Amino acid sequence: MKFDTPAGSNPIDQLKVVGHPIDRIDGPLKTTGHAPYAYERHDVVANPAYGYVIGAAIAKGRITAMDVGAARAAPGVLAVVTHENAGPLGKGSMNTARLLGGPEIEHYHQAIGVVVAETFEQARDAAALVKVTYAREEGAFDLAAVRDSARKVEQSASAVGDFEGAFAAAPVQLDQTYTTPDQSHAMMEPHASTAAWDGDSVTVWTSNQMIDWGVTDLAKTLNLPKEKVRLVSPFIGGGFGGKLFLRADALLAALGARAAGRPVKVALPRPLMMNNTTHRPATIQRIRIGCTRDGRITAIGHESWSGDLPGGQPETAVDQTRLLYAGANRLTALRLAVLDLPEGNAMRAPGEAPGLMALEIAMDEMAEKLGIDPVEFRIINDTQVDPGQPDRSFSRRQLVECLRLGAERFGWRNRDPVPGRRRNGRWLTGLGMAAAFRNNLVMASGARVRLDRQGRVTVETDMTDIGTGSYTIIAQTAAEMIGVPLEHVTVRLGDSRFPVSAGSGGQWGANSATAGVYAACVKLREAVAQKAGFNTADAVFAEGQVRAGNRSVSLAEAAGEAGLVAEDVMEFGDLAKRYQQSTFGSHFVEVAVDAHTGEVRIRRMLAVCAAGRILNPKSARSQVIGAMTMGVGAALMEELAVDRRHGFFVNHDLAGYEVPVHADIPHQEVIFLDEVDPISSPMKAKGVGELGLCGVGAAIANAIYNATGARVRDYPITLDKYLDRLPDVA
């Protein structure tokens, strides 16, 4: 099915099941420990062995010698796989560095081997016996130091009008630089895989957000036909973009299993999760805004520097600045430096999350220069068309509504515009806000739907659930379309033998995957109606029956003994070219800062989101408050500390890499605007899981400034950056 015209009324619009706050149907499995994760698949393989990954101890250079003799002779060892005996390996299109290094080393903790043994402890001990000699080379590990050598990424540059001239002529100007650090996904479940061979075919039970991408790249790496590789990933303990791509655990589990002749389990230790896999790269961002004295933006420019391994990609931190605010003269540019750090890549809301951390501070700074309330300044500069293509309107844009409603619900009118003046005992208090923006992306997505002789529905798709509620919203979609109770729907996910879906990433998963289920259900409805002798257009599906006129047939009867099966793919036409599709929101935060110690406490948070039809308000709220929590971490504590001598992330565990805990998070309120977007998909939905993060960091930074008068432009906002600038305490 192709979706290239706005959908009118359809069965989803009944909202009998879709749009309701249904409990997660996988919740009982997870809360009781019965949801099997990749490393725990004891039900699928017998007598597994264990692999332990060896990571490179240098960031750049070569292996000159590798002695594995002692490891091979150690108790319980079944195999040792390195570049010397792994056989010819290809490289997946999604990987910047090779997943098995050697003799060349491209980054610290690049996997250089795996030791397979009868037990995990034996594998770990034997791995410590491998002797590796290196020829170390000088590397680049500091973004600021190589900033001037960064190349301009031409395809990402955008210019409208005469930015330089308009900025120079603007009566009110802002020109500031902001920085964001390297950050880790830090998900609970490690990158983990269990692999087993059957002849020349391999099955890998793994933790991966994008099954088809993973199968494609594992097949390329192993030089196998794609049909010889199967990936299974029904439950994922968090991903945040870090599990979008094939990583070393899956490859080394497969290589280890082939070498040992046994199924093999591999889980990356936490240090390798942070140094071996992907992370959000650091940025340096320069923002220039020129305004008239009444607050109209006449020039807006955003340039961002980031780094990656050779062949890598930039952090797209300027994307939101192209679309969020009006202004006739505009400039955005990305510059990419070569760094010999582990691969930088997608992390929840790549681009917009770090980009808004800078842009939304800059907007507050300009509002203060103008003497205009920050909310009002953003409203003044709203636009209903793409500023770079004025003939292209937004499919739905309710930014102003989000700003006004958020300000009203949060009590913004009580904010003192003079920083550092409100005090509650020893605590300086302040309010901050920021706009939220994230583009709406859609991807082709397929599904298979079965109706059995009992009138029960089974949905199969390789879509994944990374804790977002995919099982539930897919079941809701099928129940709505086929007219059966939710408990009569079974959802099977995360198997490459199922139709290829959109996968979980980029805030596209829920909308795209349910659209694929919608398409398959349309075909199933046609088959049922035909079997029952009805005109499809007249058929009504409800309460386990299909009706037309004064006649009804049960779904079980229509299915017959053999049942009915339908499969389809939702493909999206050119609507995204004709309309700018985006999601919008606002974030409001109250903070308290200890006037003596500088300690920051978040007191309350509010997010207002306009993201199309909300398919399940309960799971959507869970997504948003989780994103808000990540925003607290990004603002106040999260930073991968780089050893600039040896090129690795020093705080590569959850003791040194700080993330928010329960005590850091106050009451969080989430409001969803009543919105549908018929341009987006037949579900009239969008995505919300990343929107909830975008802007949170800046709202906190702006609140800290309002509380203290100390403006910090370098994240995370740790007290050493403003302690000496706190107001004097009487």
The last residue of one of the domains, among 574, 593, 614, is: 574
Q: Is pLDDT at 8 greater than 70 in this prediction? A: no
- Would you say residue 64 lies in a domain? yes
Give the tens place of pLDDT for each residue, 411-465.
999 999 999 999 999 999 999 999 999 999 999 999 999 999 999 999 999 999 9
Q: Where residue 577 falls among pLDDT bands split at 50, 70, 90?
A: confident
What pLDDT, on a 0 to 100 scale, did the predictor assign at position 380?
98
The helix/strand count (H/E) of the chain reads as 16, 33
193 and 236 within one domain: yes
Structure tokens at 228: 């010889």
Contacts of 342 (CB under 8 A, 6+ apart): 107, 108, 109, 274, 275, 276, 277, 278, 279, 309, 648, 649
Instruction: Judge whether 340 and 106 are in contact, CB under 8 Å.
Output: yes
Q: Where residue 722 falls among pLDDT bands split at 50, 70, 90?
A: very high
Please choose, from the candidates 600, 619, 578, 606, the residue with its C-alpha nearest in 3D space to the C-alpha of residue 696: 606
Give yes or no for a cis peptide into 716 (omega within 30° of 0). yes
Q: Can you tell me the mean pLDDT for 2-8?
A: 77
Q: Is the dihedral of CA 630, 632, 633, 639 positive or negative?
A: positive
Q: Is pLDDT at 507 greater than 80 in this prediction? A: yes
- Would you say residue 165 lies in a domain? no
- Which pairing describes strands 329-338 and 297-308: parallel, antiparallel, or unpaired? parallel
- The conformational region for residue 507 under phi > 0 = left, psi -120 to 50 = alpha, else beta, is left
- Would you say residue 168 lies in a domain? no
116 and 70 within one domain: yes
- Length of the chain (residues): 730
Q: Give the full edge-to-edge strand order of the sheet including 104-105.
A: 104-105, 61-67, 131-136
Give the tens place of pLDDT for each residue, 213-253.
999 999 999 999 999 999 999 999 999 999 999 999 999 99
633 and 549 within one domain: no
- Would you say residue 411 lies in a domain? yes
508 and 398 within one domain: no
- The conformational region for residue 76 under phi > 0 = left, psi -120 to 50 = alpha, else beta, is left
Give the tens place of pLDDT for each residue, 664-687.
999 999 999 999 999 999 999 999
Catalytic member of 315, 567, 639, 690: 690
Structure tokens at 73: 């002779």
Domains identified in the chain, total number: 3
193 and 268 within one domain: yes
699 and 592 within one domain: yes
644 and 709 within one domain: yes
Q: Is pLDDT at 197 greater than 90 in this prediction? A: yes
Distance CA 589, CA 316 (A): 26
Q: Which domain holds residue 488?
A: 2-35+442-574
Q: Can you tell me the mean pLDDT for 130-150?
A: 98
- Would you say residue 181 lies in a domain? no
**E strand or H helix at 547:** strand 545-548
What pLDDT, on a 0 to 100 scale, did the predictor assign at position 254?
98
Mean pLDDT of the chain: 97
What pLDDT, on a 0 to 100 scale, did the predictor assign at position 135?
98
Distance CA 544, CA 481 (A): 11
554 and 473 within one domain: yes
- Would you say residue 125 lies in a domain? yes
242 and 108 within one domain: yes
The last residue of one of the domains, among 557, 574, 591, is: 574
Q: Can you tell me the mean pLDDT for 613-633?
A: 98
Give the tens place of pLDDT for each residue, 684-706.
999 999 999 999 999 999 999 99
Q: What CATH number is attached to the domain comprising 637?
A: 3.30.365.10
Give the tens place of pLDDT for each residue, 147-178.
999 999 998 899 999 999 999 999 999 999 99
Distance CA 314, CA 285 (A): 12
669 and 624 within one domain: yes
**Known catalytic membership, residue 690:** yes
118 and 29 within one domain: no
- Would you say residue 228 lies in a domain? yes
Query: What beta strand segments (E) does 73-171 contain?
Result: 77-82, 104-105, 111-117, 131-136, 151-152, 158-160
705 and 653 within one domain: yes
Q: Can you tell me the mean pLDDT for 361-386?
A: 98
Contacts of 380 (CB under 8 A, 6+ apart): 294, 295, 296, 372
- Would you say residue 645 lies in a domain? yes
What pLDDT, on a 0 to 100 scale, did the predictor assign at position 730?
62
The last residue of one of the domains, among 275, 307, 329, is: 275
Please choose, from the candidates 216, 208, 222, the residue with its C-alpha nearest in 3D space to the C-alpha of residue 252: 222
